[in-house]
Amino acid sequence: MYITNFVCTYKLHDDEVQEDMYRMQILQAFHLTSWDDGQINKETDRLYDLCNKTERFSELLDKLKKSTELQFIISIMGENDNVVLFKCLFRFELFDLAHKYICNVIENKPYDKIFVELLDIIK
């Protein structure tokens, strides 16, 4: 179960605690107290299926495929694995905006503005 009732604030903290706050908020989003690959993979697969049904989702995947920051992952996993590309949204650099986007998709709220912001930060 993905938790939508919190705001990601890890980037608002001092640099020395941002990474710890990020890890805590990833666990919070997945409603976990410790890392569980099985649960996280199951939920990210479900979230992928949900987001994949939205307009412009292929645009997001295309931007991820072209990302210079993700080229190492893409070279290992291949650019045709869209679920792996989607999971890259949970990286430190992208998670705060990706969380807002995913929450809006889950809650059937408008997501266009946050979608554009997310596209803009993918390098």
The confidence score (pLDDT) of residue 24 equals: 97
The confidence score (pLDDT) of residue 118 equals: 96
Query: Look-up: residue for tokens 């949970």?
Result: 90
Residue in 119, 109, 121 with CA at minimum distance from that of residue 54:
109
Q: How far is CA 2 from CA 27, 31, 45, 76, 123, in A?
A: 10, 7, 11, 28, 26
The confidence score (pLDDT) of residue 79 equals: 62
Write down the pTM of the prediction.
Answer: 0.91
Domain boundaries, the chain: 10-121
The confidence score (pLDDT) of residue 97 equals: 97
Question: Per residue in 62-84, pLDDT tens?
Answer: 999 888 888 787 777 666 689 98
The confidence score (pLDDT) of residue 60 equals: 95
Dig out the tokens for 72 from the structure.
Answer: 């190492």
CA distance 60 to 119: 7
- Which portions of the chain are predicted below pLDDT 50? none
Sign of the dihedral through C-alpha 78, 83, 86, 87: negative
The confidence score (pLDDT) of residue 123 equals: 87
